[in-house]
Amino acid sequence: MISGNGKPFGSPQALLERAEAIRTERKAIKQEIRVCAGPGCIARGAKDIHKQFQSEIKSHAKELKAAGLELDATLSEKCTGCHGMCEAGPVVTLEPEGTFYTGVKPRDAKKIVEKTLLHDQLVDPLLYELGHQRGGGKAERYTDIPFYSLQVRVALRNVGVVDPTNFDDFLAEGGFKAFAKAVSEMTPEAVIDQVEESGLRGRGGAGFSTGRKWRGALRVKKDRVWLICNGDEGDPGAFMDRAIMEGDPYSVLEGMMIAAYALGATDAYIYVRHEYPLAVEHLQLAIDKLHTAGLLGDNILGTGMTLNIRISRGGGAFVCGESSALMRSLEGKVGEPRAKYVRSVEKGLHDEPTVLNNVETFTCVPAIIDKGAGWFASMGRDKSKGTKAFSLVGKVKHTGLIEVPMGRTLREIIYDIGGGIIDDRPFKAVQTGGPSGGCLPADKLDLPVDFDTLSRAGAMMGSGGMIVMDDHTCMVDVAKYFINFLIGESCGKCVPCREGLRQVYDLLDKITKGEGEDGDIEKIEKLCHTMEVASLCALGKSAPYPVTSTLKYFRDEYEEHIQNKVCRAGVCPSLIMYEINEDCTGCDICARHCPTEAITGIKKKMYTIDPEKCISCGICKSVCKFDAVDIKSGDKIVSRDAVA
Amino acid sequence: MSPRRAKKTDVDLDNTEALEPSAGDTGAKAPPRPNKSRPSDLSDEERAADEILAHYPLAEPSLIMVLQELNDHYQWLPPKALLRVSEKLGVPFGKVQGVATFYKAFSLEPKGKKTVKVCLGTACHVRGAGMLVDELKRSLKVEPGHGMSEDGDYSLETVNCVGACAMAPVVMVGDNYYANMAPGNIGKMLKKEKPA
Amino acid sequence: MSKRLYVTPYRCIDCKVCEQACSLANTPVPGVPARPRVQSFKVDDQNNFVLLCLQCDEPSCQAVCPVGALERNPETGAIEVNDKCIGCGFCVRACPFGCMDYDDTHNEYIKCDVCKGDPACAKYCPTGALVWSDKPWTDQEAEEYAKKKSSDPFTIALEMTKK
Amino acid sequence: MSEAKTNETVHLTIDGREVDAPKGAMILDVARGMGIDVPSLCAHPGLEPFGACRLCVVEIQKPGWDDWYKQLVTSCLYPVEEGLKVWTDSDEVRQNRSVVLDLQMARVPESDYIRELGRQYGVEKTSYAERDTKDTCIMCTICVRACEAIGRSAIATLSRGPDKYVDVPNKDACIGCLVCASLCPTDAIPFTANDNGKRRIWDKEFDLVTDERTGEVLGTPEYLAHVQKRAEGNGLVWPETLKQESAKVKRYEYARKLSRVADVEDRLADEAK
């Protein structure tokens, strides 16, 4: 592996020269194996695959050398950040061809080395099945797959490309070019101008103009400005920031360094969610490396600039994604938000001016400085410029991490990139913006995805979680889920949020249990209104959105639960019954797994479920291999896919 | 100065025994009390706390980081260690306790040998994670976030999103991920993970 | 020189009119008299005495107050209890003269605030032992005092405190 | 509680009445100063504004906003601004206060104080599920903030969300001053001030120190020690004999001392001869 000389860089020029030198050296590399080490792929054994590759390369060293491949000289093998298509993991790509292997197991490493590396043959079973897309067949390169070809990666530009633990890798990909440009050619004012011109808006949720925020902090003339990077990604179903921090920590840091230069900040924090230990590890490695490289600390690149970045691990509180709560947390206090009538750019951390941006926002900054505000602003639409990363999850075929220019429609994202709904079931709703967002129904599929359009429709851009739901998702249950989530995460400071959430949950619970009454919906609506206008912080103010948006678009489902005591999705346990149909072969597996012995029958004949004993746990359905367990609600069979 | 106003020190009239401060109570700062416990008198928890505290500035902003490390060390926060942290950082114990109970990363009761974490992210929820929690509650006889199973092997926790939504629903035992779980597989998983 | 409450103890006959006047002037609820902020004593056969808050330059009560509930009114120069008071009673303990007090009928902490510039005690004092004035005595009184060589313990006490 | 009080004032309108208020003052204080009754449960003039009870919400309109657009803000935390228009009792305000009180009534069904307040906003009975509890704590945290101001921080909020509660996790820190109980708007902190020379609060029993001459209770030994420490921290002398004397006794002693000064003068006069 090519490494630096260990001495700090004395000037921006030296840094750029070094990057150029690495690039020249790397021209010799003929083949690169990239093992995806995103959370999904690691969970499926990516680390073992990486080890297996290392040992296979060693044991085939002679043959490889004969083929002109030598590890660390002409052949490179590395772990990268999340490649995006998590559902097909573990993923291995071979560069420069872009060969894309999915579902790789450690034992496949041998095959790949022997077949692809030595004989230029593809390992067919590992190739990606295009299905009905692009006329079917198998994709040889990831660029052939719509999931990738329709994306534009800005914030994720290096994720899945670089080895996050390797500084040289990052330099070779053009890292710190923007920072060098900023400190050597631009005034702080010019940096802010560029950021403002680019139209970059905060990627954390609210979408406040980043340039304007920075300018605001600059106007408050104080000795010290704090810089905070918010990596407390708490939205369930969102993991873009995690992927960036784990897969491309240097870009986050570079963004922060440019911001620090523009604002004259000397101290910065990255607040990382405590569930992300790998992100902490990679960021810490990167920070240490930057200190030895003279890019952090005193007299950065000989310019006299000082910056120290510290990592602070969150304590596991969703509310700490709220900026004022986050700052309390950094002060070592309970993460209770403060009222925002005094803006944090004036009085934030330790009551000093503070600029807080989200991970993705900072990551976009180097790209803007490097390629220009015009380039960034040319993407997107209206007042939402550039691209946005989303985590596309739920009942969609290709779950994973994507990035598209703002303004793409939901349909393009879900059907073209995401490949549609699992089992081609009907689409019911898409939930965006996490617990603060809302659910949009099928007739909103052609809405362009940008900050303002989504909020007008009752949802929210949020941090970028996009959860797709099919007809087997109960909207009342989804609303209840989010309220329950928020109950666990509310800080409990103000009354509408603390007491209101509990009451809304009680009412929703009543409805899902079939005990709903007339007037319950109106009660919920009244309560939601007060929560929305009278809560202290953004968490409380937006807490009712999952309820109000489902009430707006799926009111009939609520009414069905209340009037007919029916859950059409077959989800609410009190409103459904399990029933065995004639496909039953009498294999007895369900009876053996039933925790309440509600299933009886004679072997090899049809079994039956005693509705009195059944607790609707769903185990029978999940273990049945013959799809012989149906779900009934009311008189209708609303059968549901096996969970597994 | 007007004659009607007296300075507070003016009470110290030479001829007023009644108002004279008693010896040893002259308002001068009391000499620093010797540290009441020598290192050897410290309990294990206090020593562990001291070791961790040595890496941080002794001020309130360090609190959460110190508690994180303590929690990593013990898997929970022993009261003695918390008292020590409160004393050393100069943060009132009430506040320390408030922080320790506010953040989910901290546990105030001992944990089982292994912690089963069920992801309750939205993606996992819509794919049926709730049923997994119910099944685990039944088979381990524990409540999420509290206590441990009778044999002390497992604690149960629910987490909001482990960021592995593609494999939903996900259950984590220690560092191992179990993807695409169903209630029917829980028993098998627990058997496989059972600590020696 | 602004006005102050001056005490001439030898004129005091311990008639308690000042206490009554104070109590009535500071009664928040009609019919329920407040505890007086001023007190007169019969110390021994010769000496009577009226004691009220000295409005110290650096008041102990103010120094110990945790919430800043004791503030000096710039117009009267008196320290007043404002609505920030949380009732901890530190001031009562801290005042060496016992001039900070707690009125348990009205549940509030009290001290002399010179009735916001119009002290009732002085207004109703029948003997002139208490005066609200910009100097202790009129010129005539001063002359009289010099003649009589009567002692004015309070003035002497305070002069002694200045050394 | 605003620092750096300047003489600058801003001009605003509250409920149609024009007023000049010092810059940095909160709407709540200004409105109350005008005699307008704005309800609040968690505000105390001596403590940091907290903004939790949401009862003091008012509607505002800034100059330049569209005529129809108003915003609900927490008056205890919102500093006055030039040209601001404030409504403290509009329909929207009353509606939200009634929902908030409705929620509080469900939380503390046993509290007479909340019930009375609810009645003022037309809530006779809560429309939500009542908690099954005798506890009347509404989590205004006045006790927590007061205890912090006093310098003990014995009381803390523990846990979070709907489960959040107030307690004294370390009984040693409590000095039995009773300030928390006396400030509690809903009398949720049970205590006995003096029961045979003992005081009880937060499940802790205290001894009491009394003035020997008057029998007046001066407080708990912990309390007296705390005040002394605090006073000494402020550079005050703390005469031993004053420690256990009531205000009355202190006054009497001081009067006696001053009356004796006459003797001093005589002695001085003698010496002069």
Do the Cβ atoms of B6 and C155 come within 8 Å? no
Q: Interface pTM (ipTM) of the complex? A: 0.85
Clarify whether residues D170 and D75 are in a common domain: no
Model confidence at C27, pLDDT cuts 50, 70, 90, reads: confident
pLDDT score at A345: 75
Euclidean distance between CA atoms B90 and B92, whole angstroms:
6
Contacting residues of C for D261, CB less than 8 Å apart? 151, 153-154, 156-157, 160
In a 13 Å sphere around the CA of A476, the CA atoms on its Cβ side amount to 33
Q: Are residues D97 and D67 in the same domain?
A: yes
For the record, the structure tokens of A537 come out as 């912080």
Question: Poorest-confidence range of A139-148, A252-261, B44-53, C17-26?
Answer: A139-148
Last residue of a domain, one of D120, D153, D172: D120
- Contact state of B5 with C55 under an 8 Å Cβ cutoff: yes
CB contact under 8 A, D160 and A492: yes
Chain C CB contacts of D262 below 8 Å: 46-47, 151, 153, 156
Q: Which among C4, C6, C158 has CB closest to B6? A: C158
B85 within a domain of the structure (yes/no)? yes
pLDDT of residue C155: 52
Please judge whether D51 and A317 are an interchain contact, meaning their C-beta atoms are less than 8 angstroms apart: no
The better pLDDT of the pair C145, A143 is held by A143
**pLDDT reported for residue B14:** 36
- With an 8 Å Cβ cutoff, are B95 and D153 in contact? yes
Q: Are residues B119 and B183 in the same domain?
A: yes
- From the number of C-beta atoms within 10 Å of its C-beta (0-12, 13-18, 19+), residue C103 rates as middle
- Label residue A70 by pLDDT band (50, 70, 90): confident
In this complex, is the C-beta atom of A501 within 8 Å of any C-beta atom belonging to chain D? Answer: yes
Checking if the pLDDT of A289 tops 90, the result is yes
Give the architecture-level CATH label for domain C4-52+112-161. 2-Layer Sandwich (3.30)
Q: Does B95 map to a domain? A: yes
User: Residue A404's pLDDT is what?
Assistant: 92
Enumerate neighbours of B (3 or more CB pairs within 8 A): A, C, D
Q: Are residues B130 and B151 located together in one domain of the fold? A: yes
Residue of B nearest to D172 (CA): B93
Q: Look at D247 and C49 and tell me if their CB atoms are within 8 Å.
A: no
Percent above pLDDT 70 for chain A: 97
Nearest C-alpha neighbor of A579 from the set A526, A531, A639: A639
Q: B165 and A469: CB-CB below 8 Å?
A: no
Q: For chain B, what is the domain count?
A: 2
Report chain B residues whose CB lies below 8 A from the CB of C58: 7-8
Residue C24 CA, distance from chain mean position: 15
How far A520 CA lies from chain B's nearest CA (Å)? Answer: 25
Please list, in sequence order, all residues whose beta carbon lies within 8 angstroms of the beta carbon of residue A442, skipping any fewer than 6 positions away.
A426, A427, A428, A429
- Chain B nearest-CA residue for D234: B27
* Structure confidence at residue B29 as a pLDDT band (50, 70, 90): very low
Q: What is the mean pLDDT of chain A?
A: 88
pLDDT value for A410: 93
Query: What does the block give as tokens for A373?
Result: 């505000």
**By percentage, how much of chain B surpasses pLDDT 70?**
80
Contact assessment for residue A240 and residue A360, using Cβ atoms and an 8 Å cutoff: yes
Asked which of D120, D153, D171 is the last residue of a domain, the reply is D120
pLDDT of residue A180: 93
- Per-residue pLDDT for A65 more than 70? yes
Under 8 Å between Cβ of A548 and A438 = yes
Q: Are residues D190 and D229 in the same domain?
A: no
Looking at residue C53, its pLDDT comes to 87
- Alpha-carbon separation of residue D35 from A433, B76, D24, D30, D87 (angstroms): 44, 53, 19, 9, 14
Name the minimum distance, in Å, from the CA of A521 to any CA of chain D: 13
CA distance B69 to chain D (A): 20
Tens digits of residue pLDDT in D34-73? 999 999 999 999 998 888 899 999 999 999 888 899 999 9
Q: Which residues contact A634 (CB under 8 A, 6 or more apart)?
A: A564, A565, A566, A575
More confident residue, A303 or B13: A303
**Is B21 part of a structural domain of the chain?**
no
Number of domains into which chain D is organized: 3
Interatomic CA distance for residues C123 and D19, integer angstroms: 35
Q: What's the CATH number where B189 sits?
A: 3.40.30.10
Give me the helices (H) in A264-345, please. 277-292, 323-330
C119 touches chain D (CB under 8 A): no
Closest in A493, A495, A536 to D103, CB measured: A495
Hey, is A368 helix, strand or coil? Answer: helix
Question: Which residue carries 């006889």 as its tokens?
Answer: B141
The proportion of chain C whose per-residue pLDDT surpasses 90, expressed as a percent, equals: 18
Neighbours of C45 (CB within 10 A): 6
Domain that holds residue B91: 43-102
Cα–Cα distance for residue pair D81/D90, rounded to 1 Å? 20
Residue D107 and residue A499: Cβ atoms within 8 Å?
A: yes
Q: What is the mean pLDDT of residues D185-210?
A: 92
pLDDT of residue B6: 36
Residue range A101-129: mean pLDDT, rounded: 88
Q: Say if residue B83 is in the same domain as residue B48.
A: yes
Q: Shortest Cα distance from A283 to chain B (angstroms)?
A: 16
Nearest alpha-carbon partner for B79 in A38, D172, D118, A3: D172
Distance CA D23, CA D6 (A): 7
Question: What is the C-alpha separation between A338 and A354, in angstroms, rounded?
Answer: 14
Q: Are C69 and D248 in contact (CB < 8 Å)?
A: no
Least confident residue range of A77-81, A127-131, A198-202, A422-426 = A127-131
CB neighbours of C12 closer than 8 A, spacing ≥ 6? C40, C48, C49, C50, C127, C129, C130
Taking an 8 Å cut-off on Cβ atoms, the answer to whether A534 and D72 are in contact is yes
- Domains contained in chain A, CATH given: 12-144 (3.40.30.10), 167-377 (3.40.50.11540), 380-470 (3.10.20.600), 475-564 (1.20.1440.230), 573-637 (3.30.70.20)
Out of A332-346, A489-503, C29-43, give the one with best mean pLDDT.
Answer: A489-503
Q: Across the interface, do D53 and A495 touch by the CB < 8 Å criterion?
A: yes
Establish whether chain A is in contact with chain C, requiring a minimum of 3 CB pairs below 8 angstroms: no
**Which among A332, A400, A593 is the nearest to B184, CB-wise?**
A593
The residue in chain B having the minimum alpha-carbon distance to the alpha carbon of residue C155 is: B3
Residue B20: band (very low, low, confident or very high) from pLDDT cuts 50, 70, 90 = very low
Report DSSP letters for C120-146, one per residue: HHHHH-SSSSEEEESSSS-HHHHHHHH
Residues of C with CB under 8 A from a CB of B: 1, 4-6, 54-60, 63, 96-97, 136, 155, 157-162
pLDDT value for C147: 55
Residue bearing tokens 């609200």? C132
Q: Between A643 and C142, where is the model more confident?
A: C142
- Considering the domain architecture, whether residues D44 and D84 belong to the same structural domain is answered as yes
Cβ <8 Å between D79 and A534: no
Is residue D124 over pLDDT 80?
yes
pLDDT of residue D90 exceeding 70: yes
- What's the pLDDT tens digit per position in A450-500? 888 888 888 888 778 888 999 888 999 999 989 998 998 888 999 999 999
Contact B16 D257 (CB under 8 A): yes
**With 90 as the cut, is the pLDDT of residue A141 above it?**
no
User: CB-CB: which of B15, B25, B101 is closest to D158?
Assistant: B101
Suggest the residue from A338, A347, A493, A527 to mutate for an interface test with chain D (most D CBs closer than 10 A). Answer: A493
pLDDT over 70 at B31, yes or no:
no
pLDDT, residue A378, reads 92
- Which residues of chain B does D253 touch, with a Cβ-Cβ cutoff of 8 Å? 18
Of D51, D139, D164, the CB nearest to A536: D51
φ, ψ at A572 (rounded to 5°): -70, 110
Give me the pLDDT at residue A537, please: 86
For residue range B60-82, what is the model confidence (pLDDT) as tens digits? 888 998 999 998 888 889 999 99
**Full residue range of the structural domain in which residue D233 is found:** 208-273
Q: Using a pLDDT cut of 90, give the percent of chain A over it.
A: 43
Chain B residues close to D239, C-beta within 8 Å: 11, 19-22, 25
What does the pLDDT look like over A497-535, one tens digit per residue? 999 999 999 999 999 999 999 999 999 999 999 999 999
Residues of chain D with pLDDT > 70: what percent? 90
* D104/A495 CB distance under 8 A: yes
DSSP E strand stretches across D49-164: 57-61, 71-74, 85-87, 156-158
Q: Could you tell me if B94 and B142 lie in one domain?
A: no
Instruction: Give tens-digit pLDDT for D212-269.
Output: 888 888 899 999 989 888 888 887 776 665 567 888 888 888 877 776 655 555 555 6
Q: Do D40 and D104 have their domain in common?
A: yes
What tokens appear for A462 in the block?
């949020």
CATH of the domain at D172: 3.30.70
Last residue of a domain, one of B68, B102, B136: B102
| Contact state of D247 with C67 under an 8 Å Cβ cutoff | no
D115 and D52 in a single domain? The answer is yes
Report yes or no on chains A and B touching (3+ CB pairs under 8 A).
Answer: yes
Minimum mean pLDDT range among A39-43, A337-341, C67-71: A337-341
